[in-house]
Amino acid sequence: MSTSVPETGATAAQSAERRAVRTRWLLVSPAVVIIGCVGILPLSIILLYSLLEPAEYAGVVWTFSPEAWMGLVLERDIFDDTLGLSSAHLTIYTRSILQALFTTVLTLIFGFPTAYFIATRPAKERNIWLFLVTIPFWTNLLIRTFAIMLIVRDEGLVNHALINIGLIEKPLAILYTDVAVAIGLVYAYLPFMVLPLYASMEKLDFRLVEAGYDLYANRRRVLRRVIVPLVKPGVIAGCILVFIPSIGAYVTPRLLGGGKNMMLGNLIANQFGTSRNWPLGSAMALALMGLVMIALVIYVRNVTAAGQKSHG
């Protein structure tokens, strides 16, 4: 590569290059070390914990045991020690997956038109809309969940209004049900859907939309055959951004679902709290992470595929 460069120049350039490389690594190392030690290393520790036995009080006993991984779906009968499917765990997994899917679908149904509407506003109006959607994105989830609590509880606004109209006599029990959790999750993650959708709709080339109309497509057809395929990466990004936090949600089910309607996040946290089974909690956490990784891989593959298609 440097054959045509005189030797002294080459060494000077080389040492400058070496210095640049050294500075670069010095600059990135604090961030990499902090995240590596406190973000990534702990994941391997729970991998280790998941293969050990739980200690009586808390923590682990250092003997190997596959029990925790089996405990994900199985449980030992307390009387005859036989293994059977753990219906309690399976119920919680099913509930978590269904809640996350429901949240994703509902936020998409609401978020898609909203993002499209924002993207087609004139620049000034668009910024105001964007600002209004971003505010809830950054405000405290706990406080927003509390706000939902105020609305759906027995003495809450919804029941108060319904009783005043005379539609019902006794308050509807919404709080501490799956419905309340669903409402809370949709409310919490709606901005997570709108923002990535908007990002890809902002880049939408409306000449293509116009071409669709010129070729005698009606609105529904243009939407289905032109707009949706073009913004597909945004749809996938939005779905992932909603699905991942909702399947591992902790705050919303804890406040709105109470003890009976636990989700995976609460189940994991409980293993490190009252249930005192750290290995099981670790195995569950890793299983959840595996699920999330699969979702991310699907996302990356879809986006690259979509990118290649639009370039080709």
> Based on CB atoms, which residue is closest to other proteins, 20 or 83?
20
**Closest separation between CB of residue 178 and other proteins, Å?**
19
> Based on CB atoms, which residue is closest to other proteins, 174 or 286?
286
Token pair in block for residue 238: 């939005």
* 166: three-class secondary structure by DSSP: coil
Token pair in block for residue 265: 């996040």
Burial 196-223 (b: 16+ CB within 10 A, else e): bbbbbbeebeeeebeebeeeebeeeebe
Identify the CA nearest to 141 among candidates 249, 261, 262, 263.
Answer: 249
> Based on CB atoms, which residue is closest to other proteins, 25 or 94?
25
Identify the CA nearest to 74 among candidates 85, 82, 87.
Answer: 85
> Based on CB atoms, which residue is closest to other proteins, 77 or 227?
227
Identify the CA nearest to 115 among candidates 133, 136, 135.
Answer: 133
**Closest separation between CB of residue 184 and other proteins, Å?**
10
**Closest separation between CB of residue 278 and other proteins, Å?**
7
> Based on CB atoms, which residue is closest to other proteins, 29 or 83?
29
**Closest separation between CB of residue 22 and other proteins, Å?**
11
**Closest separation between CB of residue 11 and other proteins, Å?**
20
Measure the CA–CA gap between 274 and 54, rounded to whole angstroms. 13
Cβ atoms within 10 A of the Cβ of 47, count?
A: 14
- Please say whether the beta carbons of 103 and 186 come within 8 A: yes
